[in-house]
């Protein structure tokens, strides 16, 4: 019997009786379950955005590994899609929401780059920016890229949730 990634992740979640997961834990669970970096981050926002995980997994699928070219980190793209969906305009006439979305994008990229030194996948997986040594990754029995990407998954999810929460507080 074949299961989709969503079904596999949901099955693991249902079988474990644990306290409420953090947003970052949800993203890491998706990533550990086989989701790409962009999918893992965006799928963690399913509840926040009131959208099905399957839709978010599909939406984020083309963006892993810097769109397959080492360009902008897929975790950033997944986070920016979530930010745009939560904060962005619902119509072309909503100039205020467009401005808020643009400001949130700039804030996200600034915070991510401050943390890692770059938001380009090729720089991040070159292991110059992440701060994970090959020895540390090997000791944890993970591929170095997976360990590096996991740090980006965690940080992108955290920053994006912070920005969305801050925006909603300011709006209320």
- Where do the structural domains in the chain lie, given as residue ranges? 5-171
Q: Does the pLDDT at position 132 exceed 80?
A: no
Mention every residue, 6+ apart, whose C-beta is less than 8 A from residue 113: 119
Mention every residue, 6+ apart, whose C-beta is less than 8 A from residue 66: 72, 73, 74, 120, 121, 122
pLDDT digit string, tens, across residues 134-168:
555 444 445 545 667 889 999 999 999 999 999 99
Please count the CA atoms within 13 angstroms of the CA of 84 that sit on its side-chain side: 11
Global pTM exceeds 0.85: no
Cα distance between residue 17 and residue 117, in whole Å: 38
Mention every residue, 6+ apart, whose C-beta is less than 8 A from residue 1: none
């Amino acid at each position: 019997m074949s299961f989709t990634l969503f079904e596999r992740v949901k099955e693991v979640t249902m079988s474990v009786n644990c306290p409420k997961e953090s947003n970052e834990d949800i993203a890491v669970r998706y990533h550990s379950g086989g989701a790409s970096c962009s999918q893992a981050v965006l799928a963690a926002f399913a509840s926040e955005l009131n959208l099905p995980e399957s839709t978010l997994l599909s939406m984020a699928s083309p963006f892993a590994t810097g769109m397959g070219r080492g360009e902008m980190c897929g975790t950033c793209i997944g986070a920016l899609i979530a930010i745009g969906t939560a904060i962005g305009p619902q119509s072309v006439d909503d100039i205020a929401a467009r401005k808020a979305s643009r400001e949130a994008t700039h804030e996200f990229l600034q915070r991510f780059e401050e943390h890692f030194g770059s938001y380009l996948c090729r720089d991040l997986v070159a292991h110059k920016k992440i701060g994970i040594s090959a020895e540390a990754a090997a000791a944890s029995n993970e591929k170095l890229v997976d360990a590096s990407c996991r740090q980006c998954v965690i940080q992108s999810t955290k920053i994006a949730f912070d920005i969305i929460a801050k925006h909603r507080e300011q709006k209320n």
